[in-house]
Structure formats: C-alpha cells, structure tokens
C-alpha cells in the first residue's frame, strides 16, 4: 500500500493544521491497533500534506524555551504565534514563503527504519535543490539540509522534525523557498548557535515559483519511497 494521498492546504493556521495532522495520524494508528486486536489486515492509508503557515514559532519536546528570543508582547508585535509541540528537535520558524511538508505515512507500507526515513526526506530536498543548481548536504549530527557545511558560511535551508508511533509518522520538513529570513533572528534556530539560515530566493537572487518546487519534491519523493501520489 504505497499510494499516498496528496493534500494541499495552501496558507493555513498552524494549530488547525496540527489538529488535522493528529486526526489523520490517529486514524492510521487506530487501524493498526484494530488489525492487531482482531487479527485483520485492513490497509492503512498514507497522506502527504503541503502547507504554508502564518508566522509561527514551534518548540519540539526536547527543545529549550530560552532559544525563543521574544516575549509574548514582542510575538504579538511581529504578528507571530508560539506553540510547544510533540515532534523531535528544538525551535523553528514557519511562515509564508516557506514550503512545509507533512508526510503522515505508515512506514510498515514502506520500510521500518526511522533513520532511513529521515535520510530519505533529506535526500528528497537535496535532489530538489540540485535541480536549481544549489549544492546542499547533510551536516553530521544535525538533522536537516545545509549549505556550506565545514565552512564559516554554513547555513540551513531546510529543517526536519518528526514524530513516530507504531511506525506512523507526522510532522516533517520546512524548506525555505521565498521565506522572510528576518523572522529567524528572533530564535536560535534548532538550538544551534552561530549557524545562519538561508532560502532558495536568497541563494539564487530571485523568487522561486512555489508550485514548481512542490512538483519537484513530489517527483523525488515518488522515486525514493517508490510511492504513487493520488489527489485526496
């Protein structure tokens, strides 16, 4: 069952999207629990959500609140919200111009290896960026996709943070396409001091068509995960 239902939410509130993710996630988990309890083999669905969020900062369950450099009043002034959430990782920013992808999939339909799953998500982004002439890579010990690793100009272009239970995934990646990078100045991104953040627009000097990036990501996800996308 490697069919993946594609859901594009456009620009949507973070909390509303999080709740929606939780519903889809729990639906898959419930099917798996029922299968085990009743010795049945009902198929589990897979989902892939595309979304852009209004300005928001999110802190992972192992994160340090001190990495948010704004108080409540300053958050309001910047038109941003803040949530503590149940993914891995530390603090990150989401906002317009940043492409967020939430694969909510049953890894039993693909492969049961979380490390491989994270590396495949990174590879999807690395291959997508390569199509734009952007050479990106992994940074040892730091999840995500980076440019200039090993140089004084190391900068992150895509953050990753996931949650899994019973081999079902949620949360995912956030690729800075045309994002306003000024909002990253209000946090210590991912809790890593001294590392900069970049975007495709900043690297290439022009705005990048979001729909085009979405298509390229789906192409590479399809190849790596041997998946088939269907419109939900």
pLDDT in tens, the chain (232 residues): 899 999 999 999 999 999 999 999 999 999 999 999 999 999 999 999 999 999 999 888 878 888 888 888 999 999 999 998 877 677 889 999 999 999 999 999 999 999 999 999 999 999 999 999 999 999 988 889 999 998 989 999 999 989 999 999 999 999 999 999 999 988 876 555 557 899 999 999 999 999 999 999 999 999 999 999 998 7
Residue 232: predicted pLDDT: 74
On the 0-12 / 13-18 / 19+ scale of CB atoms within 10 A, 47 is buried
The count of domains in the chain is 1
Residue ranges of the binding site for substrate: 87-94, 159-161, 172-174
Residue 118: predicted pLDDT: 96
Residue 21: predicted pLDDT: 96
Which residues are CB-contacts of 197 (< 8 A; sequence separation ≥ 6)?
155, 156, 157, 176, 181, 184, 189
Residue tagged active-site, from 126, 190, 200, 218: 190
The helix (run of H) or strand (run of E) holding residue 81 is: strand 81-84
β partners of residue 164 = 169
Residue numbers of the domain that contains 201 = 3-231
Model confidence, pTM: 0.93
State the angle between helix axes of 114-130 and 210-225 in degrees (0 to 180), rounded to the nearest 10: 140
What is the CATH number for 22?
3.30.930.10
Residue 191: predicted pLDDT: 52
The question of whether 158 is a catalytic residue gets the answer no
Residue 189: predicted pLDDT: 61
Distances (CA, A) of 129 to 20, 64, 86, 145, 212: 29, 30, 28, 10, 12
Residue ranges of the binding site: 87-94, 159-161, 172-174
- Report the C-alpha gap between 78 and 56 in whole angstroms: 10
């Amino acid at each position: 069952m490697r069919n993946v239902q594609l859901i594009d939410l456009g620009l949507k509130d973070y909390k509303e999207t999080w709740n929606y993710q939780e519903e889809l996630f729990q639906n898959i988990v419930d099917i798996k629990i029922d299968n085990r309890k009743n010795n049945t083999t009902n198929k589990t669905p897979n989902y892939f959500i595309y979304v852009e969020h209004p300005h928001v900062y999110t802190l992972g369950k192992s994160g340090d609140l001190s990495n948010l450099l704004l108080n409540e009043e300053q958050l309001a002034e910047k038109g941003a919200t803040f949530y503590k959430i149940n993914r891995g990782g530390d603090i990150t920013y989401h906002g317009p111009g940043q492409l967020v992808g939430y694969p909510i999939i049953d890894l039993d339909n693909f492969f049961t290896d979380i490390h491989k799953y994270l590396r495949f998500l990174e590879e999807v982004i690395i291959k997508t960026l390569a199509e734009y002439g952007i050479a990106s890579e992994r940074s040892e010990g730091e999840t995500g996709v980076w440019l200039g690793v090993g140089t004084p100009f190391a900068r992150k272009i895509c953050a990753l943070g996931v949650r899994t239970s019973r081999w079902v995934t949620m949360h995912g990646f956030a690729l800075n396409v045309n994002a306003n990078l000024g909002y990253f100045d209000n946090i210590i991104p991912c809790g890593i001091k001294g590392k900069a953040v970049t975007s495709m627009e900043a690297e290439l000097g022009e705005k990048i068509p979001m729909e085009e990036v979405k298509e390229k990501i789906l192409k590479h996800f399809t190849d790596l995960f041997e998946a088939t996308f269907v419109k939900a």
